[in-house]
């Protein structure tokens, strides 16, 4: 029996992103984002209806400013009062869980996919998906980049422009590229 690329992606195994089923899911996500990003703010409210329906979970009063981009949407879970500012990009090939009251600044990027290290693997579209988790009441500064497999603890602060390559403990402030701890509360 052949295992689908989507099944491999969900299992955290190497899969090919060059796949008809995955492309159809990305098209569905792009359609929902197009609606969300194109609606006037008063009509969009906290989130366009197609985008809300696409996401894996949306807490009360969660808000996504336009423009917004995600790869699939169904792997994105937002807690209550979560706020994603304009320009956020979330490549949710694996689950991305963002806690209650967490704030993402403009142009924050979250990447769950890691491409193959060998050129032949990259040419074949091989990648592996690793989840990202951000705890409650965290603050992710504008233009920060969070890489695959990272967990950011409750109350943590990621400085603007930081590139987070490792887990961030709760109540810790990190800055820089790669992000390093500068303060623990």
Those residues whose C-beta lies under 8 Å from the C-beta of residue 118, and which sit 6 or more positions away, are none
Pick from 153, 155, 156, 161: nearest CA to 177: 161
Half-sphere exposure of 1 (CA within 13 A, CB side): 3
115 among known catalytic residues: yes
Q: Is there a contact between 78 and 59 (Cβ–Cβ < 8 Å)?
A: yes
Pick from 17, 182, 174: nearest CA to 92: 17
Which of 36, 69, 115, 116 is catalytic? The answer is 115
Q: How far apart are CA 31 and CA 12, in angstroms?
A: 26
Query: Could you list the active site residues?
Result: 115
């Amino acid at each position: 029996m052949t295992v689908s690329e989507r099944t491999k992606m969900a299992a955290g195994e190497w899969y090919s992103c060059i796949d008809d089923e995955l492309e159809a899911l990305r098209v569905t996500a792009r359609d929902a984002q197009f609606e969300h990003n194109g609606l006037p703010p008063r009509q969009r409210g906290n989130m366009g209806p197609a985008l809300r329906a696409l996401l894996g979970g949306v807490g009360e009063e969660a808000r996504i400013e336009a423009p917004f981009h995600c790869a699939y949407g169904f792997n994105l879970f937002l807690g209550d009062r979560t706020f994603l500012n304009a320009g956020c990009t979330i490549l949710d090939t694996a689950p991305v869980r963002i806690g209650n009251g967490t704030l993402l600044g403009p142009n924050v990027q979250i990447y769950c996919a890691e491409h193959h290290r060998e050129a032949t693997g990259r040419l074949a579209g091989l990648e592996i998906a690793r989840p990202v988790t951000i705890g409650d009441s965290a603050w992710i500064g504008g233009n920060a980049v969070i890489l695959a497999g990272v967990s950011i603890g409750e109350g943590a602060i990621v400085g603007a422009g930081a590139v987070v390559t490792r887990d961030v403990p709760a109540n810790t402030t990190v800055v820089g590229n790669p992000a390093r701890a500068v303060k623990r509360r």
